[in-house]
Amino acid sequence: MFDFIVDMFSYAFMQRALVVTTVLSASVAPVGTFLVLRRLSLAGEAMAHAITPGVVIGFVTAGLSVMSLLFGGLIAGVGVAVLTAYLARNTILRSDASLASLYLISLAVGIFILSAAGSAVPLKSFLFGSILGVDDATMALVGGVATITLCAFAVMLRPLIMSTCDPVFFESQMKRPWIVDQGFMFLLVLNLLAAFKTLGTLMAVGLMILPATSARYWSGTITAQLGFGFLFALLSCWIGLLLSYVLPETPTGPSIVLVAGVIFGFSAVFGPLGLRSQFKAVRHT
């Protein structure tokens, strides 16, 4: 077994995939944890669609350049996040309805531009990932985003925890409480864009949410959930890579998310805060 693993990682593309998924796990784990704690899990899926027009415009105007797709998606994602907050604060619509409306519009615009340009096929790798074909630019992008994300969380972790646990008190103590919310949404968009060429924007949401929801079943403290989330994301990536190597016809991105789903199912049943605790409570009544 050991020789098999050594042989698997003797290939350069597997080494790159291992490094990228490890760094990506460290980056998306805290974002996913706070998405779950703030009850914004579906917002991650919405933002993955919201960046579509920016990615498409970047692709149509500048081809497969990583930086053009990054800036295009970043502008679209941040624009949707800012406009959502503005509508929620100044109109009758709440943030969930505003985000749902805007991301549907963004998705439609992206598909319309893509169809008009007649270049749907090359973009599939960005939507669904090509983790075994990452280049130096993608590795640099993932490393840079992970650095920004971890440094940002080191600065804003306490206010983010406060706004998550007691938003009313947090707003009463901060002059501009929206800065934390918008900063978190910026990190969400940034991590979605970092993963769009590896797992794809659709699969990246799975790597964010599933390890975080699994971690929720193992601990009630935020710090422990951050640790479990990273561990589960890392295991999902490593086992998913192994699975795709053993079964060459299996796509790597969905394999990673599928492993994360299996971990979620196990955690939901056997975790200390999962169904097992409910069964014990029934037995003692």
Give the distance, in angstroms, between the CA of residue 143 and the centroid of all CA atoms in the same chain: 15
Model pLDDT, residue 133:
75
- The CA-to-CA distance between both ends of the chain, in Å, stands at 47
Per-residue pLDDT of the chain (285 residues; tens, 9 = 90+): 666 667 776 778 788 888 999 999 999 999 999 999 988 877 777 888 788 788 778 877 776 677 777 788 888 888 888 888 888 888 887 777 888 888 888 878 877 877 776 655 455 565 566 777 778 888 888 999 999 999 999 999 998 988 888 888 887 877 787 788 888 988 998 898 888 777 876 677 889 999 999 999 998 899 999 999 999 999 999 999 888 888 877 778 888 989 999 999 999 999 998 887 666 665 655
Rounded CA separation 129/224 (Å):
30
pLDDT of residue 229: 95
- What is the pLDDT, as a whole number, of residue 284? 58
Residue ranges per structural domain of the chain: 19-283
pLDDT score for 227: 95
CATH topology for the 19-283 domain:
ABC transporter involved in vitamin B12 uptake, BtuC (1.10.3470)
Helices (H), the chain: 2-8, 12-37, 41-50, 52-62, 66-90, 95-117, 124-128, 136-165, 167-173, 178-195, 200-216, 222-246, 252-270, 275-283
CB 234 within 8 A of CB 52: no
pTM, to two decimals? 0.84
